[in-house]
């Protein structure tokens, strides 16, 4: 049985965003649970000195070793979180402490790969690690990153970007998506999907530009729309036309459409299609049902309609989705 564990070093410094530091270890810790062998990651926190580091949330974190000690280790993944300060006009400015930048450059030279979380991309940029590369960061600082470092092709849209052995992630909670992508690279899509399920997350496509699932359902403020949502979920194999839903809700079709747009930001038909795609997605991941069967039980009627809905909402086909995200047992 293999016991090799990949060393992940997370950089600590004053004011660092707490979730950037704690989010990735939560993802990495689940790998051992979801694999048969005792493989996975060893995560350590490194700082300039061994004293407590106060994060942006006010929570103090203790490092496991100093930057100097980390530099003597064989690092698999160097993870660089970010930090910001907000001025009197509520403008956000990323922090790039020269000492941290200098150590990141040193540590990166001895690492198999380097990844930044959120505005940590500014630290990688200051260390010269993003020159000539495409990179992303939190949307609020993307323009500044592009202005300060014209040698970088900044793209604020993706959740994460991989450029060879350098990865950059977008805004704060995207650290989980980036970490899942790293897991997928190291241990495969099946393990990453299992970890995502444990975290009650959706697994993102490579490149992170969109989710392979419909958006999480918005929370409604009215009992009527909640009843409609539950009715739709129970009746996806039925026609569920606007007229059918209006009768169920005891309102006119025009009023029903207005309710959906106000409460959920979409038309009744769009919501029904989203719900059907979500159920189809789950069936493709977890069953061997044929496309004809999936189309029937999810209310699409024909496989052509199912394929068109997947292309429209997920930019893929049901077959391609199943090949990439089907969870195999054992």
DSSP assignment of 281-303 equals HHHHHH----HHHHHHHTT--SH
Given a contact cutoff of 8 angstroms between Cβ atoms, the answer to whether 197 and 176 are in contact is no
Question: Tokens standing for 271?
Answer: 């919501």
**Computed from CA positions of residues 287, 291, 293, 297, in that sequence, does the dihedral angle turn out positive or negative?**
positive
Give, as one character, the DSSP assignment of residue 148. Answer: H
DSSP assignment of 199-243 equals TT-PPBPTT-SSBSSPPPPPPPSSHHHHHHHHHHHH-TTS---HH
Q: Which of 10, 118, 124, 195 is catalytic?
A: 118
Torsion region of 250: left, alpha or beta (phi above 0 gives left; psi -120 to 50 gives alpha): left
Active site residue 118: yes
Q: Cα(299)–Cα(279) distance, rounded to whole angstroms?
A: 10
Phi, psi values for residue 135, rounded to 5°: -150, 160
Q: Cα(261)–Cα(265) distance, rounded to whole angstroms?
A: 4
Given a contact cutoff of 8 angstroms between Cβ atoms, the answer to whether 207 and 185 are in contact is no
> Which residues are known to be catalytic?
118
């Amino acid at each position: 049985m293999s016991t090799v564990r990949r060393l992940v070093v997370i950089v600590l410094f004053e004011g660092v965003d707490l979730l950037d530091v704690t989010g990735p270890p939560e993802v990495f810790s689940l790998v051992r649970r979801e694999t048969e062998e005792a493989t996975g990651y060893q995560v350590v926190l490194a700082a300039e000195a061994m004293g407590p580091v106060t994060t942006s949330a006010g929570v103090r974190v203790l490092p496991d070793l100093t930057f100097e000690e980390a530099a003597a280790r064989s690092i698999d993944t160097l993870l660089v979180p970010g930090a910001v300060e907000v001025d009197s006009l509520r403008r956000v400015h990323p922090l790039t402490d020269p000492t941290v930048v200098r150590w990141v450059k040193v540590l990166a030279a001895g690492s198999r790969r380097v990844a930044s979380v959120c505005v940590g991309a500014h630290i990688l940029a200051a260390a010269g690690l993003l020159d000539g590369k495409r990179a992303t960061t939190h949307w609020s600082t993307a323009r500044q990153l592009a202005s300060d470092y014209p040698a970088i092709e900044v793209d604020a849209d993706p959740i994460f970007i991989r450029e060879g052995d350098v990865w950059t992630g977008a805004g704060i909670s995207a650290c989980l998506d980036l970490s899942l992508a790293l897991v997928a690279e190291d241990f495969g899509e099946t393990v990453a999907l299992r970890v995502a399920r444990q975290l009650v997350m959706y697994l993102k496509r490579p490149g992170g530009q969109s989710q392979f699932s419909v958006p999480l359902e918005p929370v409604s403020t009215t009992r009527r729309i909640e009843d409609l949502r539950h009715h739709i979920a129970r009746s996806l194999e039925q026609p569920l036309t606007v007229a059918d839903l209006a009768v169920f809700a005891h309102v006119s079709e025009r009023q029903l459409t207005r309710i959906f747009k106000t409460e959920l930001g979409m038309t009744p038909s769009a919501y029904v299609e989203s719900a059907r795609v979500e159920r189809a997605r789950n069936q493709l991941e977890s069953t061997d049902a044929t496309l004809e069967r999936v189309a029937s039980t999810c209310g699409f009627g024909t496989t052509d309609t199912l394929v068109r809905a997947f292309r429209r909402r997920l930019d893929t086909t049901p077959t391609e989705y199943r090949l990439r995200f089907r969870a195999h047992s054992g």
